[in-house]
Structure formats: C-alpha cells, structure tokens
A and B are shown apart, each in its own frame.
Chain A
C-alpha cells in the first residue's frame, strides 16, 4: 500500500475514537438545553442545497481548476446519540455538476459521521467529521474514492421533534492514480457544500 494510503488509513482509524474521547471529556456545559437527548435517541434528517466545486490538487501540491459548474447536493442522514452532545451516524447523498461540454458528473458519497453538538438553546451547533467512500461517475468512467467531510451546522429547535438548520461541509475526495494510470494524474478534489436541513428526533 502506498505511503499516502497508509497515512489515510491510520488517520481514519484514529479520528473517530479521538473525537469520541474529546467529546466525553467536554460534555458538562450549557444550563439551558431545552430537551435533552441521550443514548438511544435518534435523528433522521434530509438535506439539500448548493454544491460548489473549489479546486483539484495534485498529490505533489499543484492546484488546478475543476472546470465544473456549481451543482446540487442532497442527502439523507441517520444519527444516534451516544451522549447528549455526541452522535454517530451514516449519511448517503448525491451530487451533480456539469462539465464545459455539459456532461454530468455524479458523486455518491456514503459516509460514517461523528458529531459533537454545542447547544445554546434553542440552537444546536454540531461540529462533525464524516468519512467513507465516494462513488464518482462521469461518462463511461466510475471511480470509487476515499473521502473526508468535515463541517459544521446551525440548527434551530422548532420543538422537541423537529429542528431546522444550515450545513457548511468541506468535501475532500482522494482520487489517486490506479492501475496503469500515470502517477501525475492523481488528484484530490476539494468541494464545498452549503445545504439546508430538516431534522427529526425520535
């Protein structure tokens, strides 16, 4: 396995327990919580919004334009509370954007997501990291890549069941050269998601 791959593997395996540990140590705060959620509580959310292609980057550092138009993003997310301010969940989504010749790029990310939630009633401010795979399809080509999705959200608690909010998520997709491809054709995709959410607690 390549050096970069080993680094990513190690980073991935470390990041989730690290978040969990940090979260466990900092859970005592905020006297005005409104409804308090705990282990076993779950949420479902639906998200949709704007997908902004930022830039592609070679593994050696050189930066290139994506040539993509802004696109659309949508996703479904399930989370479960481990503590009142820590959740772990799964997110499945889809993205489309267009090339200069109006060919459609499709991205299908499937990620595991860990969140730490700061609460200032009636607002929640989750800070999260998602990690998993992204299935990219363009013309006849399909690529399965590793991805990270750090981000933060702002939710307003409408009532004990429903919250509504805004997400800002950075997408970092690693697409190294594989097989017989020249090494310098590997790229890291950098994108930004700005989306709205409706979140249901149950």
Chain B
C-alpha cells in the first residue's frame, strides 16, 4: 500500500513538473494584459455586415457606397447613418441599381451602378451629393451603359475600367481629364485580367497602371507600355502607390511581398520581410498615405499592414477588434477636409471603420 502511494506521488510530481516546464515556453501575446487593455469599440448605426466598396465626402456629409449609398454628417459625434435616395439609376423594372464605386473628381461625383440581375449598368455622375441624389448617365458611348468595374482618380485624370462580358470577358481602360469625354488606353486591352490600380510617379512624371498580373507605365496614359519588373507572382499584384515622402514607388503582391523602387521602376527591392500569418502569405491589396511617415496596406483577410519610414512593415496589432483585424479591405479613404486626417476603411462584409488618430490602434470606431 505504501509503495502504491509513493508511485502515485511520483507520477503526480512528474506530471506537474512537466506541465510547469511546458507552461514556460510559450511566447505569444500576453492574453491577460491584452484583455485588461481592451476597450469597447464605439459602434454607430451603419450595418456592421455591409460590404462597403468606396467612400467620399462633400464636406457636409460622409457617403459610403455599399450597394445602396449611406450618409451621415461629418460633425463630431454624429452617429446616425441614413440611406440616400437615388434617382436616375433605375433598371428596366424600375428598381434602383446598386452602387459599387463612388469617387470625387474635379468637383463632381462619379459612380458605377449595376442592376441586381447584372443586365443594366453604367457610369453616372452628379454635381452634388445629399440625402437625395439625381444621377446623370455618362454620354460617352464606350462608357455609357457599360459594366464599369473600377473608377480611379490619378493625377487629374479619371480612369474607368470597362468589362465587356463576352466569354471570357475583356477589360478596357478609359481615361478622361474632364469627366465628359474619354479615351481608350489601347495598350491595356487585357483580356480576362482586371485592371486594379494606378499611380503617378511625380519624380519621373510617369503614370503606372496595374492589372492583376502586369504593370504598365508611360509619360501619358495614351502611351503606356508593359514593364517586366517586378514580375508578378502567380497569385498576382495587389496595389500600387507613389510616395513623395519616401521618393519611392511601392507595389504590393498577393503573396505577402511589397516591393519598393526609388528610380521609377528600374530596380526593385523588397520592403521589410514577407508578411505571413500562420505560415500563409498575406494577400496584399491597395495602399493609402496616412501621414508623412505612414502608409497603410490593405489585405484580403488580415486587416491592414503599416509601412513605417518607408522600410518597415508590420501588421495592425489590435486583435481584440476582430472585425477589422481579420477584415478583407476594399479601400481606404483619408479625409482631407472636414476632419483632417481621419481614416475610413471600407471592408468586405465587416462594415466601415474610422479612426481620427489612425496611429492609435485602440481608437478605431465601427461606423
């Protein structure tokens, strides 16, 4: 009997010792400390499960394009979002079409609409936004009544990407300096590959246009030519931005790598380390300049990353707000008027996020 007790004691002591040793080997974030510092996210009235595609302000209100267009006042403390009443954008059955892109250009607002059945679509514009908006269809033949998948504003030009939905489909790029007449960028008849982003390198006075697997550049949009470097990974590109603060062109990829070039693309070098989460490469998206030393990079499923000083990349750290931490980010918007420096993040299925002090990870608000 005594021997059994001694054996049991040694088994128990060994088990406890083993447990103790293994308990000291973990190095992930301190959970209790994280909980202690977690703040409840302020949540305004916008549906948190919305997919928000793009965002603008007219100085009086903010507008979020999420199929329907929603607006709220820019005034501090404004919490209530309402739906805009849109007219002039009905399909054949009289149903209001869905807005999936909304940008401001030369004091006017341009939007891409598509009907729920996908059969009716087009580029529309309006002189002013508000609680009700009257839209006017673009008259330019190649844009009017066509499916517009992307609208980009770059260096005083409005770029519209048209998808011709014949199998397998072809994307076309059109550009305009006045928003009325458009010209096709013929070098980018890209077959089934979407045109996703564009930038202007101020130092070299050259445009850069990105498809999912190619880069084009040229001193004007009519003379774009394909560049071979950096080579797109099999997963494709994510976004492009030129930073005057760092005098550098940044290109993101879908396999966790961000490239930088300070000689207009003659030579590229990787910025920071390859971004991985649980050994999976992070699929990057587009960029946004936040301030003179900070650039945000969107991801598809991992919130956003931050480029600091032009050389270091790190993931947004506040994992307690999983709606943003694990978000698929469609686009950023940085307010340069009413609330200077406030950043808005449009997500796919996780609503809209905002932060008046974007370098503070704990200050995000769920709109």
Task: Spell out A's residues near B (CB within 8 Å).
Answer: 1, 5, 8-9, 12-13, 16-17, 20, 39, 56, 64-68, 80, 82, 88, 99-101, 103, 105, 110, 112, 114, 131-134, 136-146, 173-181, 185-187, 189
Decide yes or no: A67 and B35 within 8 Å by CB, A146-B23, A146-B24 being known contacts: yes
Decide yes or no: A80 and B8 within 8 Å by CB, A103-B320, A132-B15 being known contacts: yes
Name which of B37-45, B123-131, B205-213, B256-264 contacts chain A: B37-45
Please tell me if the beta carbons of B26 and A142 are within 8 angstroms of each other in the complex.
yes
22 contacts between A and B (CB under 8 A): A1-B24, A13-B13, A16-B9, A39-B4, A56-B32, A80-B8, A103-B322, A134-B23, A136-B32, A138-B31, A139-B320, A140-B28, A141-B29, A141-B34, A141-B319, A142-B28, A144-B22, A176-B24, A178-B25, A185-B30, A186-B30, A187-B36
| A-B residue pairs, 4 tightest by C-beta | A179-B27, A187-B32, A100-B40, A133-B19
> Which residues of B sit under 8 angstroms from A180, Cβ to Cβ?
27
Q: How large is the interface on B (under 10, 10 to 19, 20 to 34, 35 or more residues)?
A: 35 or more
Please tell me if the beta carbons of B28 and A143 are within 8 angstroms of each other in the complex.
yes
Please tell me if the beta carbons of B319 and A143 are within 8 angstroms of each other in the complex.
no
What is the predominant secondary structure among interface residues of chain B facing chain A?
helix
A137 to B319, CA, bound (A): 13
Please tell me if the beta carbons of B319 and A12 are within 8 angstroms of each other in the complex.
no
> Which residues of B sit under 8 angstroms from A99, Cβ to Cβ?
35, 38, 320
Question: Separation in Å of the B271 CB from the closest CB of chain A?
Answer: 22
How many A-B contacts if CB must be within 8 Å? 133
Please tell me if the beta carbons of A178 and B26 are within 8 angstroms of each other in the complex.
yes
- For A5, give its contact among B8, B24, B321 (CB under 8 Å): B24
Question: Separation in Å of the A58 CB from the closest CB of chain B?
Answer: 9
Please tell me if the beta carbons of A16 and B13 are within 8 angstroms of each other in the complex.
yes
A41 to B30, CA, bound (A): 41
Decide yes or no: A112 and B16 within 8 Å by CB, A39-B4, A82-B8 being known contacts: yes
